[in-house]
Amino acid sequence: MSIEHVAIIGAGVAGLTVALALAQRGIASTVIEQAAELTEVGAGLQLSPNATRILDRLGVLRALQSVWLEPESIRLRSGTRLSSIAEVPLGSFARERWQAPYGVLHRATLQKTLLAAVSAQQLCRLVTGQRIDSPSMEAFEAICGRAPDVVIGADGVWSVVRQRIAGAEPARFSGNIAWRMLLPQEEAPDFIERDKVTAFLGPASHLVAYPLKDSGHVNLVAIAHGRDPGKGWDHGVVNRTELSHAFRAWHPRIRAMIDGIEQPRLWPLYEMPEGAWSNSRDTILIGDAAHAVTPFAAQGAAMAIEDAYELALALAMQAPADAIRAFATKRKPRVKKIGKRGAFNRFVYHVRGPLALGRNLVLKLRPPHEVAADLDWIYEYRAEW
């Protein structure tokens, strides 16, 4: 059976990318989004070479390169002393070593660029303001105008499509929360480097900072252990006492910077236990709906993009049931390994006391090219079938 039409639930990065990839292979899709308007919340994101390589194949990389920043490196620094610990070269080094660029930009910029590309495809149709409470084939047919051959759940951590899949596990709170902040670049202190991604490591917490060329801000994400505020991503302006307490042992200049930011937003970090991604017939989950991971490896968006592209390849070459089963079999080991790397980074970033001193010493002894080599298996990955 050839696949002619797909229903995609969710118009985020995963949903728009898979619609675009399917259209390139002659497969029509209807993207169903519950929001009346596509206004992406959040802040910045990092796109590593394994993701930008795919975006180039989809024809959207050039538009992103005109507005993003290609950082010269990722620098690890002490959150208590501000001293440098280690560095991973990027910029021209990334293009040469991994044959694709590394960029940082606002999440909304990526979504708008993907949306423009999808809108230009005659095989893609976007339907907004359509909330699906019961994910039946009848409900999808009513919106699509025909019964879809395949349903793709790209609807995030609290996926409704997951109801169609026996053995799919619900999301669980990771025990960590993120405070997302935007600081005007002209107000950023001098220890925030304008050409780098900087990760400050401190006791039981860390802070990532990088400039956003497309918005004129510095993106700041502070992550620490915290309580679960409940279902939902953006919980509004946070309790200042909780934020200050999490970074109370940090360098005074970092504390002063955080205290001066007007509207930090609280985002709980959820993750997905191992479980079924598909019903092995006509329904498959991708991105956070299948395998939400915490951001300690900066691969959330990249995994969604990889998923979308490889699923489109599979659906273009195989019958629905075969493609769905083959996709899950191929992708699960990759995603699991990324999750383990994130868990390792979480431990390394948040150690304290003698362990932190040992970590710093080991990292300082490693040359930048050696640190970069540890990332080859992530960044060199080429999505294919």
Which pLDDT band holds residue 235 (cuts at 50, 70, 90)? Answer: low
Q: Is residue 13 one of the residues assigned to a domain?
A: yes
Contacts of 62 (CB under 8 A, 6+ apart): none
pLDDT score of 40: 59
- We report the CATH number of the domain holding residue 319 as 3.50.50.60
Q: Is residue 164 one of the residues assigned to a domain?
A: yes
Q: Is the pLDDT of residue 233 over 90?
A: no
pLDDT score of 71: 98
Task: Kindly report the pTM of this predicted structure.
Answer: 0.95
Q: Is residue 358 one of the residues assigned to a domain?
A: no
Provide mean pLDDT across the span 166-189: 92
pLDDT score of 42: 61
pLDDT score of 228: 82
Whose tokens are 């993120």? That residue is: 178
Pairing of strands 73-78, 265-271: unpaired
Give dist(CA 294, CA 173) in Å, integer: 10
Q: Is residue 246 one of the residues assigned to a domain?
A: no
- Mean pLDDT computed over every residue of the chain: 93
Helix boundaries (H) for the chain: 13-24, 49-57, 61-65, 92-98, 107-119, 137-144, 240-246, 252-259, 288-291, 300-317, 320-350, 354-364, 368-373, 376-379
Q: Is residue 120 one of the residues assigned to a domain?
A: yes
Which pLDDT band holds residue 234 (cuts at 50, 70, 90)? Answer: low
Which pLDDT band holds residue 1 (cuts at 50, 70, 90)? Answer: low
Residue 32's domain comprises 5-71+100-170+272-344
Number of domains in the chain: 1
Going from the C-alpha of 247 to that of each of 84, 174, 200, 239, 297, the distances in angstroms are 19, 19, 11, 13, 21
Query: pLDDT per residue over 76-95, tens digit each?
Result: 999 999 999 999 999 999 99
Q: Is residue 130 one of the residues assigned to a domain?
A: yes
Q: Is residue 324 one of the residues assigned to a domain?
A: yes
Q: Is residue 262 one of the residues assigned to a domain?
A: no
pLDDT score of 337: 96
Q: Is the pLDDT of residue 236 over 80?
A: no
